[in-house]
């Protein structure tokens, strides 16, 4: 038969081509999915490409759109908890797409097994987080504006290449600019220096419509002297002291933890980790092995949101309130960990794969550090009568990443202890956000110096606060949990307390979401407990985990302020909600340019019952930063955090079996 002479009807040909395309997609999917060994595995590079291709091929995909997000759409919790190794599992990608031309935002879901879009809808009235492409084009847009150029010339700056533009999410949006996609452009005199933050060009802020590539306004509040070029951080500029003697960490037999894909096991702990582009390093399916059984503690633990409100009421400062998770994405802004400085020499450094604005995958090298470290004494008793000593040295496992959001650097550490304790440690460093002032010497705290401290000649650092909110999906021995609060007080004088030494601890059930909105109380040593009412240890206690607060702060911005309406999670240190897969971010999914009211305040409005339910704890950690000159030009690290410790989860010290 002469095949060249055979004519195929166009409809049949179309079906044949589609069939071949589906076959190729199916074969590609099989190859890709072979790399994902667990339902919670992060998207691989090939899966990101596949999701982007499927979306770009959809008829509703806008021309010249940007991908704000392409991440794993996490499967149902029940599917994950019931998963058996080797069993098939669903695999979907969730994407947020920005149509810059028409200022629309879309959410979509791609079924990676089928290679097709299964959900597409517009998310109306919202703006996704700031994207890399916008940081790149913002300087050129701002510098091309005649008003900005005039402001620079007024300050004697004619070489605009010497100016560094720093992009900020807009914060509060003035009437008349609603509905636009906005960024603010701050200016610094960089010159040949590295630390341009040390030389703010104070008073000049440009407001830019990013979808129209247009400067809407330039605020110039007046000329302020620019600090001298003496704010450098490098060793050549600072000089160096005599170095300490070498300090070596060696593990001749290798690391004490095992990594299997994204699963880690160490000293009876078993858990998974993910480097998420928005939330950064998060933990999943955390459990502790006890007498041969793996007991669940946490299903998912992550940094849900951050907000950094500044306390300077100046017109060019009052809007500054960075939502570092929801406006910028702490995972995307992670920096590569430098061996032997950012992490000790025994650290295992792991890459992360993210999706870029163009939908293409890229690798962030050395995104996560995992290492063991000495933990001091674990437990000890010296028996005076016999002279016998029993003591154990502690080992800790640290998972860490470091995000740089503009001037600030944040290292977030999840620390596992051998006695069942899980600790969260946030380490803050970087450069305080500076404000240019005319003063070169400190004066009595009056006028504008009430809202900041002079840290260098012509440089003031305004007072501000940092608030972190952690989402902690507890599953203590299962998903049926309750929330209790513990308060300790002195027993009042009376017949039951004749020597006035009595003290009691009262434990109260927080049975609804409204009752579970709580503040810290130093007077009562307040802490919160996640209890399994149906599980008991050998002594009869209900098994539980206790959230033990560390240092904390109250917010100073007014409850009716726009910042606080947008960051309602800072109204309480402790919240608890009934589990919902759609409730992941304490200030809502899209805090960028939001009007407020989303997130925790909205979710608890229905006041769901929490007793014997699948509960989620939200802990707000606050820091009030009153700057010091000793923190300039770069801050020594400040550590803050909290702990989750077993409370009746075991019947005795679980670290008794740690060898000498």
Determine the 3-state secondary structure of 4 from DSSP.
helix
Give the up-direction half-sphere exposure of residue 192: CA atoms within 13 A in the CB hemisphere: 1
CA distance 577 to 589: 16
CA distance 599 to 471: 12
The secondary structure element, H or E, covering residue 136 is helix 132-143
CA distance 286 to 297: 6
List residues bridging with 460 in a β-sheet: 435, 454
Nearest residue to 543 via CA among 376, 369, 420: 420
CA distance 640 to 630: 19
Please identify which of the residues 111, 145, 166, 324 carries the catalytic annotation.
324
Residue matched to tokens 């995972």: 331
The secondary structure element, H or E, covering residue 46 is helix 45-57
Q: Given the DSSP bridges, would you call strands 527-536 and 542-549 parallel, antiparallel or unpaired?
A: antiparallel
145 phi, psi to nearest 5 deg: -80, 130
Reading the block at residue 188, the tokens are 């610094």
Q: Give me the sign of the Cα torsion angle 170, 404, 410, 238.
A: negative
161 phi, psi to nearest 5 deg: -65, -20
The secondary structure element, H or E, covering residue 308 is strand 293-309
Query: What is the chain's Cα-based Rg?
Result: 28
Nearest residue to 328 via CA among 183, 173, 143: 183
For the question of residue 324 being annotated catalytic, the response is yes
The secondary structure element, H or E, covering residue 56 is helix 45-57
- Where does residue 250 rank: exposed (0-12), middle (13-18), buried (19+ CB within 10 A)? exposed
DSSP letter (8 states) at residue 196: G
For the question of residue 477 being annotated catalytic, the response is no
Instruction: Enumerate residues 6+ apart whose C-beta is below 8 A from 453.
Output: 442, 460, 461, 463, 626, 627, 628, 629
Quote the strand ranges of 491-633, DSSP E. Answer: 503-509, 527-536, 542-549, 574-578, 615-625
Q: What is the rounded (10 degree) CA torsion for 134, 308, 413, 646? A: -140
CA distance 459 to 75: 50
SS3 for 442-502 is: CCCCCHHHHHEEEEECCEEEECEEEEEEEEEEECCCCCCEEEEEEEEEECCCECCECCCCC
How far from chain centre, in Å, is Cα 199? 29
Q: 517-551 burial by CB neighbour count: b if 16+ within 10 A, else e?
A: bbebeeeeebbbbbbbeebebeeeebbbbbbbbee
Please identify which of the residues 188, 310, 408, 619 carries the catalytic annotation.
408
Catalytic annotation, residues: 324, 408
């Amino acid at each position: 038969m002469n095949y060249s002479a055979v004519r195929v009807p166009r409809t049949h040909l179309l079906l044949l081509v589609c069939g071949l395309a589906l076959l190729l997609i199916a074969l590609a999917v099989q190859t890709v999915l072979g790399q994902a060994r667990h339902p919670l595995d992060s998207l691989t590079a090939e899966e990101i490409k596949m999701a982007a291709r499927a979306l770009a091929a959809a008829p509703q995909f806008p021309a010249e759109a940007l991908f704000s997000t392409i991440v794993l759409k996490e499967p149902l919790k029940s599917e994950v908890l019931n998963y058996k190794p080797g069993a098939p599992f669903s695999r979907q990608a969730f994407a947020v797409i920005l149509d810059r031309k028409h200022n629309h935002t879309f959410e979509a879901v791609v079924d990676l097994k089928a290679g097709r879009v299964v959900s597409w809808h517009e998310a109306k009235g919202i703006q996704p987080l700031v994207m890399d492409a916008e940081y790149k084009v913002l300087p050129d847009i701002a510098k091309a504006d005649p008003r900005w150029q005039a402001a620079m010339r007024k300050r004697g700056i004619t070489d605009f290449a010497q100016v560094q533009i720093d992009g900020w999410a807009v914060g509060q949006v003035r009437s008349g600019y609603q509905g636009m996609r906005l960024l603010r452009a701050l200016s610094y005199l960089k010159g040949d220096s590295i630390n341009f933050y040390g030389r703010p060009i104070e008073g000049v802020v440009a407001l830019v419509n990013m979808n129209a590539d247009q400067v809407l306004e330039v605020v110039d509040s007046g000329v302020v002297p620019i600090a001298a070029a003496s704010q450098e951080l490098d060793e050549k500029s600072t000089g160096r002291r005599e170095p300490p003697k070498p300090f070596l960490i060696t593990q001749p037999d290798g690391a004490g933890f095992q990594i299997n894909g994204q699963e880690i096991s160490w000293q009876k702990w078993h858990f998974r980790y993910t480097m998420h582009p928005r939330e950064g390093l998060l933990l999943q399916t955390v459990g502790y092995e006890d007498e041969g059984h793996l007991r669940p503690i946490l299903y998912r633990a992550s940094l849900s949101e951050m907000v950094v409100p500044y306390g300077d009421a100046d017109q060019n400062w009052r809007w500054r309130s960075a939502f570092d998770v929801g406006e910028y994405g702490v995972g995307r802004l992670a920096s590569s960990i430098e061996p032997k400085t950012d992490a000790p020499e025994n650290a295992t450094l792991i890459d992360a794969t993210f999706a870029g604005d163009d939908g293409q995958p890229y690798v962030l090298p050395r995104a996560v550090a995992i290492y063991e470290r000495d933990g001091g004494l674990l437990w000890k008793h010296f028996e005076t009568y016999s002279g016998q000593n029993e003591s154990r040295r502690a080992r800790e496992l640290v998972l860490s990443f470091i995000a740089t959001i503009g001037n600030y650097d944040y290292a977030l550490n999840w620390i596992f202890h051998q006695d069942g304790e899980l600790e969260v440690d946030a380490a803050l460093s970087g450069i305080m956000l500076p404000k240019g002032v005319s003063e070169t010497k400190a004066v009595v705290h009056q006028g504008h110096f009430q809202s900041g401290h002079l840290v260098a000649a012509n440089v003031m650092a305004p007072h501000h606060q940092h608030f972190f909110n952690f989402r902690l999906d507890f599953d203590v021995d299962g998903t049926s949990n309750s929330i209790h609060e513990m308060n300790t007080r002195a027993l009042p004088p009376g017949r039951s307390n004749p020597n006035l030494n009595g003290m009691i601890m009262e434990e109260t059930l927080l049975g609804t979401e409204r009752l579970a909105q709580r503040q810290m109380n130093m007077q009562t040593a307040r802490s919160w407990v996640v209890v399994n009412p149906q599980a008991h240890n050998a002594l009869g206690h209900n098994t539980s985990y206790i959230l033990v607060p560390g240092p904390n702060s109250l917010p100073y911005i007014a409850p009716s302020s726009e910042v606080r309406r947008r960051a309602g999670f800072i109204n309480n240190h402790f919240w608890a909600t009934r589990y919902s897969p759609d409730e992941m971010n304490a200030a809502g999914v899209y805090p960028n340019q939001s009007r407020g009211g989303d997130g925790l305040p909205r979710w608890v409005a229905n006041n769901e019952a929490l007793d014997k339910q699948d509960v989620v704890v939200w802990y707000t950690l606050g820091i009030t930063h009153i700057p010091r000159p000793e923190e300039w030009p770069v801050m020594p690290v400040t550590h803050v955090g909290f702990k989750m410790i077993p409370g009746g989860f075991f019947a005795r010290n679980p670290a008794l079996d740690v060898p000498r």
